[in-house]
Amino acid sequence: MAGMKGLFKDTAIYGLSSMLGRFINWFLTPFYTFYLAKAELGALSNYYAGTALILILLIMGLETGFFRFAGNPDEDKNRVYSTCITMVTVMSLLFVGAVAIWMNPIANFIGAAAHPDYVMYLAVIIACDAISSIPFVYLRLNNHPWKFAAIKLFSIGLNIVLNLFFIVLCPILVQKGYGNSIAWFYREDYNLGYVLISNLISSAVTLLLLGRFIFAVKYVFDYPLMKRIMRYSAPLIVLGLAGVMNQHLDKLIYPYILTDDPTAWEQLGVYAANAKIAVILVMFTQAFRYAFEPFIFSKHAGQDKRPAYADATKYFVISGLFIFLAVIFYIDIVKQLIHSSYHEGLKVVPIIMLADLFNGVFFNLSLWYKLTDRTKWGAWFSLMGLVIIAIGNVVFVPIYGYMACAWSAFVCYLLLMLVSYFMGQHYYPVPYNLKRIALYSVLAMALWGVSELVVPDALWIRLLFNTLLLGIYVVVVAKFENILKGRRFSLR
């Protein structure tokens, strides 16, 4: 129980920074719906999908590799750290140099021929984030969640402030007659560029704040150690690439599938804005991951902690279903965050949230191949998911538009979750309480169904009714989990 308390404590701390980091997208995406054209928002989602893909290539699976080797008492933790960060830094600098050489062709390829500077902004952002990833892992391994959170939160706040400065304050200054004072750096037709500049500055400052941890050890590059780390991490690169592609492939290829549709970039903007409404579940998954990875590796030696892993997964599902119901039940409030012209895409929100929940469970189940050093299975699972996503998008997007993107993700993560469970029970059996998980899942879906069938006209009555439904879920879970005083229900 003490281990579980530590896990949830770290989840809460890491979650503060992770959830607020994701909240940038939740806050800024509604903000962008009012200040960027739909096509610009579509382009931004396309660019960031590409950066996520490249970031995986530059990090090379070394986040998990670092945990695995630095957590081994037979390894020199400082030597592992210096080797990993040297590898990532060299690769990142080579990447920026290559982009600088081929900047214009890349800009033409991504539809930014008029703004090749966007390409360099993105390259530097990616490099800074890649190099920063290893010091952040160093903080996690050494149990410094508060330092981790403080740096993350400062970067987040800086990004928000810069966006507000460039996109809101500067136009006001121009209207007030102060345009000449800021003309040396501000252009009225450059909003998308300022979004990227804000991100670049915040990423660079984050790297500077991590400087003391970057140089916290004596640098030694151990080539034999590098080969051993890469043998472990290489399958994770494939896994990471496929995982990111599973999450972002729709945004990457959507406008290229609908090349004959002049509204393709606008449709992508609508889809991206509504998909971000579901981001709260991704926030929770990411926060849980930050605490869960060091938890499973630190508990691997000695006492069998499989019951604790099973409990962690059960509570993850309980929390995920609660988040799902809360967003869906209060969608009338949540939708006010985005411009009304984007409300046509709200129908994708529950589908994407369920897909994200399946993805989170899949991550929990993935401990079996990480702990048994069968990381190649993770790569195979993700490649399977990538095939499903790709086929679903290419075949059905021309027919059903962005709804095909949402349903493809749903099917993908559902299948990945099921396949990983059955494979895991073969190689590393964990006593998951499937009956309890199934009960909570069926209950949540039933309550959602009731909410969809019973829709009072008055908003306040509708919200009150949905609050009652959410309360039913909380009470049932609390009774079965013995959270409330009184008799505990049993379902084993």
Q: Which two tokens stand for residue 359?
A: 């993805």
pTM: 0.78
What count of residues does the chain have? Answer: 492
CB 56 within 8 A of CB 237: yes
CB 225 within 8 A of CB 78: no
pLDDT above 70 coverage of the chain, percent: 89
If one counts every other C-beta atom within 10 angstroms of the C-beta of residue 475, the result is 12
- CA-nearest of 481, 484, 491 to 435 is 491
Give the pLDDT score at 276. 84
137-182, pLDDT tens digit by residue? Answer: 888 777 777 888 888 888 988 999 999 999 999 999 998 888 888 8
Q: HEC string of the chain? A: CHHHHHHHHHHHHHHHHHHHHHHHHHHHHHHHHHHCCHHHHHHHHHHHHHHHHHHHHHHCCHHHHHHHHHCCCCCCHHHHHHHHHHHHHHHHHHHHHHHHHCHHHHHHHCCCCCCHHHHHHHHHHHHHHHHHHHHHHHHHHCCCHHHHHHHHHHHHHHHHHHHHHHHHHHHHHHHCCCHHHHCCCCCCCCHHHHHHHHHHHHHHHHHHHCHHHHCCCCCCCCHHHHHHHHHHHHHHHHHHHHHHHHHHHHHHHHHHHCCCCCCHHHHHHHHHHHHHHHHHHHHHHHHHHHHHHHHHHHCCCCCCCHHHHHHHHHHHHHHHHHHHHHHHHCHHHHHHHCCHHHHHHHHHHHHHHHHHHHHHHHHHHCHHHHHCCCHHHHHHHHHHHHHHHHHHHHHHHHHHCHHHHHHHHHHHHHHHHHHHHHHHHHHCCCCCCHHHHHHHHHHHHHHHHHHHHCCCCCHHHHHHHHHHHHHHHHHHHHHHCCCCCCCCCCCC
- Answer yes or no: is pLDDT of 207 > 90: yes
- Answer yes or no: is pLDDT of 269 > 60: yes
What mean pLDDT is reported for the chain? 85
Give the pLDDT score at 388. 92
Q: How far apart are CA 256 and CA 258, in angstroms?
A: 5
Give the pLDDT score at 489. 46
- Answer yes or no: is pLDDT of 22 > 70: no
Lowest mean per-residue pLDDT among 218-227, 390-399, 400-409, 438-447: 218-227
Lowest mean per-residue pLDDT among 110-119, 249-258, 302-311: 302-311
Q: Tell me how far apart the terminal alpha carbons of the chain are, to the nearest angstrom.
A: 19
Tell me the one-letter amino acid at 192. Answer: L
Give the pLDDT score at 1. 46
Give the pLDDT score at 137. 85
| pLDDT confidence bin for 132, thresholds 50/70/90 | very high
Lowest mean per-residue pLDDT among 47-56, 70-79, 158-167, 345-354: 70-79
Q: Which two tokens stand for residue 444?
A: 């949540």
377-417, pLDDT tens digit by residue? Answer: 877 887 888 899 999 999 999 999 999 999 999 999 999 99
CB 66 within 8 A of CB 137: yes
Query: Stretch 255-270: mean pLDDT, rounded?
Result: 88
Give the burial class of 423: count Cβ atoms within 10 A of its Cβ; 0-12 exposed, 13-18 middle, 19 or more buried: middle
174-191, pLDDT tens digit by residue? Answer: 988 888 888 888 888 899
pLDDT above 90 coverage of the chain, percent: 42
Q: Torsion angle of alpha carbons 155, 160, 164, 166, nearest 10°?
A: 40
| pLDDT confidence bin for 357, thresholds 50/70/90 | very high
Kindly provide the b/e burial profile for residues 413-422, where b requires at least 16 CB atoms within 10 angstroms of the residue's own CB: bbbbbebbbe
2-20, pLDDT tens digit by residue? Answer: 445 555 555 556 656 666 6
Give the pLDDT score at 199. 94
Q: Torsion angle of alpha carbons 326, 332, 338, 340, nearest 10°?
A: 160
Give the pLDDT score at 297. 59
- Answer yes or no: is pLDDT of 443 > 70: yes
Query: Stretch 368-376: mean pLDDT, rounded?
Result: 77
| pLDDT confidence bin for 444, thresholds 50/70/90 | very high
